[in-house]
A and B are shown apart, each in its own frame.
Chain A
């Protein structure tokens, strides 16, 4: 099989790996700050619709459409974040899931989003390097934040919010920052996604998608940026790799996930476990 036919078969899959890598990173940001927020699928949906409407109806250039697709969910996150982030744990999860339902129902009933039929014939503008560039920029940004006072504040809040606040950290501002940043990245991923899938429908951004995104981050591991990327790739590829199992493939998918969570509770990418393995091996060699 030559390159161009391989690409025409698998380009959607390759781009999806990148886009869902971004989605897993977007939820990793809030998780790293101790927030169990399940709104990212909805933010992705907002980003998808806004950017698709921008290119289809207003004929804006793709770059501007992506920018709008990134900014709109960020503004929404800023508005709902103030009341919602007073909650924590499962209550925050419930509230953000509820927000996701609201977004889905709104998309289902508006004319501009095409109602239940969704949007069709979205121009195919996303090139492979757009996704790659978005990933690289997001990784550079987050890596810089991780090694600054912001990243340390995220970690401190996750470990002990009260202690963090008493160290002078404005915890509610930092949590809001994490929430908005996650929404921006999810919106960007949505904008890129809309312009290679050709169609959008409200069902794409519901409960199932929200849980899938969480699964990616948890499966990959949230000790760093590599884990979510890996998790995004695995969850995207698994159904394709298990295609030969036909109707059993979703069941096999589930079994694999349970096995990973049981035996690798910190996720697949866990630098601490790797270090332990190395140590063990070193001591074996010494003995």
Chain B
């Protein structure tokens, strides 16, 4: 579904990514791990078109993503969350989610001005769907709260709801459980499992090993901009190169 073919990315003299090859298959929960500064978020930024790769090819569903503007990539069916949460903090929870539906609301300006039936129906449906999504991530109780007032963990959940609102085919999660307590992690884990059952392809970056190993069917390890290992969670856990680069430094 998503392929990165020998993708490199240089910032000035710094090589953030060096000849990265990755393939995410349809229906997969794919995990990308690696030490801080390894270049994981850069991978997401390239996929979502925030900046172009220095070399290499990015394809999604057989079509190249190179040269496409970010909002076009989003309409192709790729939605994401952010490591450093980027919600619309002065907007309500439900409005945050409805912004995610922007491209699916296909009324024109005049429909809004004249309040035509088409405008009313699509706004009403959007509101109902947004409310359902809030329920799904466990935030259904206070849809009119401001996003900025949520706890850290709940902000991450809201970001997932907003990304799901775009009805993506591929969901990119950038450290979805960073800063969460154990209970919150379990609810997000259960949520991602239901998304997986619904055939959504998930590509996540995460530091929490229990979380990654429990959810992902394939894990890739990135270190200093290079993929040093790729395979099933159990194979990764016993890979000596990975243990040296990453797992060995953690108390697992």
Contact = CB atoms under 8 A, between A and B. Distances in A.
A167 B100 contact: yes
A25 to B, nearest CB: 16
A166 B162 CA distance: 11
Contacts of A152: 91, 95, 98-99, 102
B123 A148 contact: yes
Interface in B81-130: 82, 86-91, 95, 98-100, 102-103, 105, 107, 109, 112-115, 119, 123
A156 interface: yes
Interface residues of A, number: 24
A166 B75 CA distance: 9
Interface of A: 140-141, 144-145, 147-150, 152-153, 155-156, 159-160, 162-171
A144 B120 CA distance: 12
A156 B91 contact: yes
A141 B80 CA distance: 33
Contact of B102 (A145, A149, A159): A149
A167 B162 CA distance: 8
Nearest to A223: B90
7 contacts: A148-B109, A148-B119, A150-B112, A153-B102, A159-B89, A162-B70, A166-B71
B48 interface: yes
A163 B86 contact: yes
Given A149-B102, A153-B102, A166-B80, A160 B86 contact: yes
Nearest to A164: B99
Interface centre among B50, B82, B113 (most CB of A within 10 A): B113
B90 A163 contact: no
- Across the A-B interface, give the 10 residue pairs with the lowest CB-CB distance, nearest first: A148-B112, A168-B74, A168-B103, A163-B86, A159-B88, A165-B70, A144-B113, A149-B105, A156-B99, A168-B75
B71 A168 contact: yes
Interface residues of B, number: 33
A165 B114 CA distance: 27
A148 B95 CA distance: 11
Contacts of B202: none
Contacts of B166: 167-168
A244 to B, nearest CB: 41
B71 A170 contact: yes
Residue picked from A149, A150, A159, A163, most chain B C-beta under 10 Å: A149
A143 to B, nearest CB: 10
Contact of A160 (B88, B95, B114, B123): B88
A22 B69 CA distance: 35
Contacts of A169: 71, 99, 102-103
Given A155-B91, A168-B166, A170-B71, A163 B82 contact: yes
A139 to B, nearest CB: 12
Given A166-B80, A169-B99, A159 B74 contact: no
Name, among A144, A147, A167, the residue most crowded by chain B CB atoms within 10 Å (CB to CB): A167
A155 to B, nearest CB: 6
A197 to B, nearest CB: 31
Contacts of A167: 71, 74, 79, 99-100, 102-103, 162, 166
